[in-house]
Each structure stands twice: as C-alpha cells, then as structure tokens.
C-alpha cells in the first residue's frame, strides 16, 4: 500500500464526493439536468455563462501537464495553489487531529489552513546563515516521524526567504518519509529559480506532491488557477474532496490563452529578464545606506533587513510604493519584502530609500 493510501482519512476511504451534473459522462443537445437558467444573462450574448463549468477541463489539464512535463492524470486544477493546500489538509488530517510540519519563516497559508482544520502546526525553524536561509530538512523529517505528522510542507523557492532547495535534498526527504508522510513542495516561484526540475522526482517518489500556480510568472493572479501534481491515485483522492465547480469559465479561458505555446515562450523570456533585474536590484539595494542585508533570492522578490525598517516603509508608502511589511514575523523584526517590479519601479525604490536616508 502506498503512502497516500495509508494516510488517507479512514472516514474518506469509501467517500466518493459530490457528483455534480457536469461530472456525468453523457452527451446531448438539450441540457436540462443542472437546473440552469434557459435564458442568457445580460452581457452574455452567446449564453455560455449560464452553464456550469467543467469541474476539471481536460484541455486545461492537458496544457498544465505539458507545461510541467507530467501526464494529465497527475494534474488536479485548483483555485490557485491555496486550494491545493486546503485539499491536502482535508484529505489527510481529520478535523481536530493530525499535524503538519513547516519551516518558518514561510508562507502563512500552511498554518492558517491547519488552524481552520483544527490540525497542529509543528515548526522546525529555518536557519539564517551567512549564505542565506536554510531549511533543516533532517530536522523536519525527524519531527514528522516522531510526531506522526502526515504532511510536511516545503516552500521551494522559499517565501519570504528566497531560499532554493536542491532536488537531491527533496528526494532524500521524500525517501526518508516514504510510507509515513507526504512531502508537499510548494513551487509557486519555481519559474524564477535556477533549477525548475522538481516534477522529475514524481516518478521515483510516490509520496511527493508539488503545488504550482499561474499567479506569478504567468501573470494570472486574478484568475486564481493553480494545480496539484502527484500520483494519479492521490489526485483522485483530492478530487473527491474538491468543491463541485472549482474553476470559473473565464478563468479557464484566460489560463488556456496563457498556456498557448507563443504565450509560454513570452513568459519564459519575461522571466529571464526579471531574474536579471532581480540581480541588478539586489546589487543596488546592497549599496544603499540604511540597508543592513539583502538575502539572495530565487523568487521574484527580495527580503531586506534595514537599520530602520519603519522609516524605510514610511518613506516608500509616502511616495505611493507599497511593499510587504515582514516585521510581525519572528526573526524578521527589521525586514521588508520587496517584489521585483519594472526597471523604472526598482530605480524609484532605490532613489526613495537613498533620499530617506539622506534626509535622516
């Protein structure tokens, strides 16, 4: 028995989920099985929006599979990668039971979803080293084994740390936890990293799950299209826990347009440009007075420590520049996270920080 089958909640083993009208494999010309309006809505001349959407459009799953180099049976399309996190908690942690392991400072939705499900969050803090932040993968594995945690979340590249974890480290973690826990790699920022090959590990590690999104590199944050990549059996488990109609039709159409070959080529070119701009922006920040440290990053952002983070935040905000205040995060009390903008926007940030320091 594989890991997912062993870890699936006992009460969900025979659970089939809700069978929506669009889940039925039937064909027809007059559709009267979903209690939809027979009339078109204002602004929807063709009447396409009066129909419920396909829960898992095959064209979208095929396009995502081609993008990530997997089989379409290994893809579950989701409302952003956030829904993937929630579905994993639903499927493998009964309410009020179970635990997840995370490595803070890290994306907050893992702990938020765990809290909403009544699941314990066990922290194995990342280490702030001379070379940047480093997750303690051995410590996370040992904790998951000793505390019987079925889910271990790895953010790679890390948010907000910018850390990139080598595929070899993820492979060792998955192997050590085989039969005991699922290793969930949140790869929301993978397109910006030097290496984006973690999906190649899926074939050898049946307890590995990868979360992807079109929100970042593909510029579709407003469409909320993500995906879970995993073994087909695990995908089927999550599908049974998903809402009946998770994907809005306009969002699916936007995703398909963004996944056309020419659009993907443009995205890859833009990503290359952004990575170059990230390096130039980091160099500029490191030379700016009042900046204590700029961490190396494999994401589309930089984590920056300041002598006076409040003054830096206020100076940027006064000029209409909004950055992420990280000071409420333990260990980051002097830090801000700055997304990589256009070259002009990045130069403006540098100028504003320099002016604020001179004025001080």
Chain segment 209-264, per-residue pLDDT in tens: 999 999 999 999 999 999 999 999 999 999 999 999 999 999 999 999 999 999 99
Mode of pairing for the β-strands spanning 120-123 and 99-102: parallel
Give the start-to-end residue ranges of the domains of the chain: 3-259, 263-359
In terms of DSSP H, where are the helices of 14-79? 58-68
The pLDDT of residue 61 is above 60: yes
Place of tokens 């006992």: 10
Residue 82 · residue 215 · CB < 8 Å: no
The pLDDT of residue 34 is above 90: no
Which letter does DSSP use for residue 220 in this model?
-
Residue 20's pLDDT is 82
What average pLDDT does the segment 101-110 reach?
98
- Helix pair angle (232-239, 80-92), 10° resolution: 90
* Cβ neighbours around 340 below 10 Å, total: 21
What average pLDDT does the segment 251-279 reach?
97
Q: Please list the helix, strand and coil fractions of the chain in percent, rounded to the nearest 5, in that order.
A: 40, 15, 45
The domain over range 263-359 is classified in CATH as 3.40.50.970: no
What average pLDDT does the segment 37-55 reach?
85
Chain segment 67-90, per-residue pLDDT in tens: 999 999 999 999 999 999 999 999
Q: Is the peptide bond before 160 cis (omega within 30 degrees of 0)?
A: yes
- Residue 325 makes CB contacts below 8 A (sequence gap 6+) with 309, 313, 336
**Domain 263-359 in the same topology as domain 3-259:** no
With cut-offs at 50, 70 and 90, classify the pLDDT of residue 21.
Answer: confident
CA angle 191, 194, 199 (to 5 degrees): 60
With cut-offs at 50, 70 and 90, classify the pLDDT of residue 359.
Answer: low
The domain over range 3-259 is classified in CATH as 2.60.40.10: no
The pair of structure tokens assigned to 51 is 């129909």
Chain segment 306-344, per-residue pLDDT in tens: 999 999 999 999 999 999 999 999 999 999 999 999 999
CA end-to-end span of the chain, whole Å?
64
The mean predicted confidence, pLDDT, of the chain is: 94
Buried b vs exposed e over 202-216: b needs ≥16 C-beta within 10 Å? beebbbbbbbbbbbb
With cut-offs at 50, 70 and 90, classify the pLDDT of residue 358.
Answer: low
């Amino acid at each position: 028995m594989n890991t997912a089958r062993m870890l699936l909640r006992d009460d969900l083993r025979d659970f089939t989920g809700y069978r929506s009208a669009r889940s039925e494999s039937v064909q027809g010309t007059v559709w009267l099985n979903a209690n939809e309006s027979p009339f078109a809505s204002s602004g929807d001349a063709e009447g396409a929006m009066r129909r419920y959407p396909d829960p898992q459009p095959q064209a979208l799953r095929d396009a995502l599979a081609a993008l990530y180099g997997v089989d379409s049976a290994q893809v579950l399309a989701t409302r952003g990668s956030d829904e993937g996190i929630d579905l994993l908690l639903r499927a493998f942690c009964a309410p009020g039971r179970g635990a997840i392991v995370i490595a803070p400072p890290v994306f907050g939705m893992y702990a938020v979803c765990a809290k909403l499900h009544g699941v314990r969050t066990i922290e194995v803090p990342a280490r702030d080293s001379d070379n940047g932040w480093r997750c303690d993968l051995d410590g996370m594995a040992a904790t998951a084994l000793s505390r019987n945690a079925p889910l271990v979340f790895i953010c790679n590249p890390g948010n907000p740390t910018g850390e990139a974890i080598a595929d070899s480290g993820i492979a060792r973690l998955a192997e050590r936890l085989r039969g005991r826990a699922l290793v969930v790699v949140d790869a929301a920022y993978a397109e910006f990293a030097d290496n984006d090959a973690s999906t190649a590990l899926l074939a050898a590690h049946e307890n590995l799950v990868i979360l992807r999104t079109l929100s970042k590199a593909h510029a579709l944050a407003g469409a909320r299209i993500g995906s879970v990549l995993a073994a087909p059996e695990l995908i089927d488990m999550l599908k049974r826990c998903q809402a009946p109609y998770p994907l809005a039709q306009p969002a699916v159409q936007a995703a398909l347009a963004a996944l056309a070959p020419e659009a993907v080529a443009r995205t890859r070119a833009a990503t290359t440009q952004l990575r170059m701009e990230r390096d130039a922006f980091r160099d500029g920040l490191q030379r700016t007075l009042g900046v204590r440290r700029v961490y190396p990053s494999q994401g589309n952002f930089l984590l920056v420590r300041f002598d006076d983070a409040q003054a830096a935040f206020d100076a940027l905000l006064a000029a209409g520049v909004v950055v992420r205040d990280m000071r409420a995060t333990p260990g980051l009390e002097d830090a801000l996270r700055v997304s990589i903008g256009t070259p002009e926007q990045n130069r403006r940030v540098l100028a504003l920080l320099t002016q604020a320091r001179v004025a001080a």
